[in-house]
Amino acid sequence: MTNSLSIEQQARAAKAYILQELRKTDLGVEILNDADLFARLDMNFITVFAIFAELYGYRHDCLDQLVDLITMCGKSWLERDSELKKLDKAREMDPDWYLSNQMLGGVCYVDRYAKNLAGIKAKIPYFKELGLTYLHLMPLFKSPKPLNDGGYAVSSYREVDEELGTLQDLKDLATELRKVGISLVVDLVFNHTSNEHAWAKKAAAGDPEHSAMYWIFPDRNVPSAFERNTREIFPDDHPGSFIQLPDGRYVWSTFYHFQWDLNYSNPTVFRAMAAEMLYLANIGIDFFRMDAVAFMWKQMNTDCENLPEVHKLLRAFNALCRIAAPSVLFKSEAIVHPDFVVQYIDRYECQLSYNPLQMALTWEALATRDASMLTQAMERRHNIARGCAWVNYVRSHDDIGWTFSDEDALELGKQGGNHRKFLNAFFVNRHPGSFARGVPFQDNPRTGDCRISGTTASLAGLESGQDGALERILLAYSIAMSSGGIPLIYLGDEVGQLNDYSYLNDQSKMDDSRWVNRPWYPEQRYKERHDRNTIPGRIYAGLKHLIHLRKTTEEIAGGRAVGFYTGNSAILGYQRQGPNSTLLCLCNFADEPQWIGRERFQGLPESAHDLVTDSQINLKDAGIHLRAHQYLWLRH
Ligand code: GLC
């Protein structure tokens, strides 16, 4: 491609070429004759072209690769189910549908929660009872046995793990969920495949085309040069970023040795993964959780994380969805420094993102009984692009890492490294008086890095039997439920599920402590959920109440939370602006009652309605008292 022309001129020329190529085949003509498709193609072409030209323009076959990509994309749309096309239309008319306060997410492992896909289908009545509108099923595709990183080592994106069901079962499940208003979310694990994926097997056998789909080098020279700047992600598994193949070559594997990083500097990889993505979109997936996005592009002399090209790749993938599966949305999984997390959040990139900072700082505040860092994060780091939303969670299937910014912490007098050490010690019960029962994850004495694993209930003190555990669980969830975006419940948390140490007896899991927080379905706890004399019953009732409040409080829909300084470091404050009123949320992280002076409420009305207790609260008399771990949602 020549670059003496402007990008618009180049795009116009490329489009003319592509149209001419399409006219040569029956499929191409069919694509051109679909007016809706053509309009979307027209609108998104410049994005796809510009990115493709920038990343792959040096290749002599770049334009032909683009013809193939557009043809694949058009074909995918033509094959899309009419029901899904109806949904595409409906969501086009209501583009902010996912920002609604009706949205509520749940996440689980298919096998652990319900044995298989049929079991998940049988649980739909429960999902409705809870109020879910979004269900994230953890990786369920074919993967190596027994080691597969909880399914994040994918051997085929088009085959469901046979123990869980078939692709048809997944499609049927998506249809059933759609009927009851629940969107289906699955991972798009596209940074890497398993070493048993057909591409990887051919690469391992020495096939040059497939070797070029991964980062494979004949000796240690280039790998060692890269490793001067890369971070060790799973040091318990292997040091550095590469592992050696039996034939002596080295392959990039950021995570486990059986997960090989794909090489997106090769357009074949881009096209291949785009095809897998659109294939899954046509099964009826509503949201893709874009796994491990930070690592997708590698560049010598950088740490190979969050590089600008990653954003280009995501934008190009997004544009392909806009063309061929327009209702499908992306959620980024970037558990990195907050400066980088926000860079993925954009209507044209990932419309949703996990909010790892809010999650981690909720635990930080529970440990320190000090909400300063969380308040600062709400004020400073909550604002994201319009039309986008955080996914607010209390914990996930993964470990908790303390991803706050050291500069932010320093402003509050906390030294990042020491504070992380304290938090790790606190949450693995190596700190006097800790209520938490977590387990260290990837404890790396060489770098001092460590993260922690544990279920919400065990981290909050239910396992250690300490006072305030229930209140801490509900306090944490009250923040996820009221700070906007989509709250996500790790299913089992709503009945206070504890750590499961049985992973220590399983050879294939004992070295990965995250399994402690991926327990099996807690049958007995679910049975007790309607009995308020039981612990599960009390937690369930509390959470159901929060869900009810969320769904009836329009101020919570979409948008940003704005920090509210309470003047009391134990009390977190934030506001949510609704169309007719404002919601002021206050949360006491201390183990004893706390107070906010009335001067803090200057400019606010005399009294406000607390939605949590359904009572009127006077703001101007003597200020406000909050019980230990109490939260108020004040409408004014
Ligand atoms: C994501 C997943 C994690 C997995 C990793 C590698 O971070 O959440 O469970 O180990 O990606 O795929």
Among 138, 152, 154, 187, name the best residue to mutate to test ligand 1's pocket (greatest count of ligand atoms within 8 A of Cβ). 152
Amino acid at 158: R
The CATH code that applies to domain 556-635 is 2.60.40.1180
Please state, in angstroms and rounded to a whole number, the distance separating the CA atoms of residues 152 and 255: 10
Of ligand 1's listed atoms, the one at least distance from the Cα of 152 is 12
Pocket of ligand 1 (CB under 6 A): 149-150, 152, 189, 255, 291-292, 333, 398
Q: Nearest to residue 35, comparing CAs of 69, 81, 85, 84? A: 85
Q: Nearest to residue 434, comparing CAs of 401, 461, 404, 470? A: 461
Of ligand 1's listed atoms, the one at least distance from the Cα of 189 is 12
Centre a 10 Å sphere on the Cβ of residue 504 and count the other Cβ atoms it contains: 13
Alpha helix positions (H), 428-563: 456-460, 469-482, 523-527, 535-551
Of ligand 1's listed atoms, the one at least distance from the Cα of 192 is 12
Q: Which residue CA neighbors atom 8 of ligand 1 most closely? A: 398
Would you say 564 and 573 are in contact if contact means Cβ atoms under 8 Å apart? Answer: yes
Q: Which residue CA neighbors atom 12 of ligand 1 most closely? A: 152
Going from the Cα of 223 to the center of ligand 1, the distance in angstroms, rounded, reads: 22
Q: Which residue CA neighbors atom 9 of ligand 1 most closely? A: 398
For position 560, what pLDDT does the model report? 86
DSSP one-letter code for 622: S
Of ligand 1's listed atoms, the one at least distance from the Cα of 398 is 9
Output the CA–CA distances (angstroms, integers) from residue 247 to 201, 243, 250, in the order listed: 13, 12, 9
Residue 333: active-site member: yes
Going from the Cα of 206 to the center of ligand 1, the distance in angstroms, rounded, reads: 28
Using the CB atoms, write b or e for 190-218: b if 16+ within 10 Å: bbbbbbbbebbeebbeeeeebbebbbbbe
Sequence-ordered strand ranges (E) for 121-163? 134-137, 141-142, 156-160
CA dihedral 94, 98, 100, 102 (to 10 degrees): 120
Using the CB atoms, write b or e for 61-94: b if 16+ within 10 Å: ebbebbbbbbbbbbbbbeebeeebeebbeebeee
Going from the Cα of 130 to the center of ligand 1, the distance in angstroms, rounded, reads: 27
Would you say 619 and 609 are in contact if contact means Cβ atoms under 8 Å apart? Answer: no
Would you say 376 and 407 are in contact if contact means Cβ atoms under 8 Å apart? Answer: no
For position 3, what pLDDT does the model report? 62
Among 138, 259, 291, 331, name the best residue to mutate to test ligand 1's pocket (greatest count of ligand atoms within 8 A of Cβ). 291
Please state, in angstroms and rounded to a whole number, the distance separating the CA atoms of residues 401 and 423: 10
Going from the Cα of 85 to the center of ligand 1, the distance in angstroms, rounded, reads: 31
* Catalytic member of 149, 291, 370, 494: 291
Going from the Cα of 280 to the center of ligand 1, the distance in angstroms, rounded, reads: 19
Please enumerate in sequence order all residues whose Cβ is within 8 A of that of 532, keeping only pairs 6 or more positions apart, or say none: 538, 541
Among 255, 259, 260, name the best residue to mutate to test ligand 1's pocket (greatest count of ligand atoms within 8 A of Cβ). 255
For position 443, what pLDDT does the model report? 86
- Residue 137 φ then ψ, to 5°: -95, 125
Output the CA–CA distances (angstroms, integers) from residue 515 to 163, 372, 460, in the order listed: 19, 31, 18
Q: Which residue CA neighbors atom 7 of ligand 1 most closely? A: 292
Of ligand 1's listed atoms, the one at least distance from the Cα of 191 is 12
For position 620, what pLDDT does the model report? 84
For position 449, what pLDDT does the model report? 81
Going from the Cα of 197 to the center of ligand 1, the distance in angstroms, rounded, reads: 17
* Catalytic member of 111, 237, 305, 333: 333
Going from the Cα of 424 to the center of ligand 1, the distance in angstroms, rounded, reads: 20
Would you say 633 and 578 are in contact if contact means Cβ atoms under 8 Å apart? Answer: no
Please enumerate in sequence order all residues whose Cβ is within 8 A of that of 601, keeping only pairs 6 or more positions apart, or say none: 619, 620, 623, 624
Going from the Cα of 532 to the center of ligand 1, the distance in angstroms, rounded, reads: 36
Residue 493: active-site member: no
Radius of gyration of the chain (CA): 25
Would you list the DSSP string of 211-243? Answer: HTTB-EESSSHHHHHHHTTPPPS-TTT-SSSEE
For position 399, what pLDDT does the model report? 97
Going from the Cα of 375 to the center of ligand 1, the distance in angstroms, rounded, reads: 28
Of ligand 1's listed atoms, the one at least distance from the Cα of 150 is 9
* Strand, helix or coil for residue 582: strand
Helix 7-22 to helix 35-56 angle, to the nearest 10 degrees? Answer: 120
Q: Which helix (H) or strand (E) holds 353?
A: strand 352-354
Please state, in angstroms and rounded to a whole number, the distance separating the CA atoms of residues 300 and 266: 16
Residue 511 tokens, joined = 């070295």
Amino acid at 521: Y
Q: Which residue CA neighbors atom 4 of ligand 1 most closely? A: 152
Q: Which residue CA neighbors atom 3 of ligand 1 most closely? A: 398
Residue 103 tokens, joined = 């949205």
Residues of the chain with pLDDT under 50: none
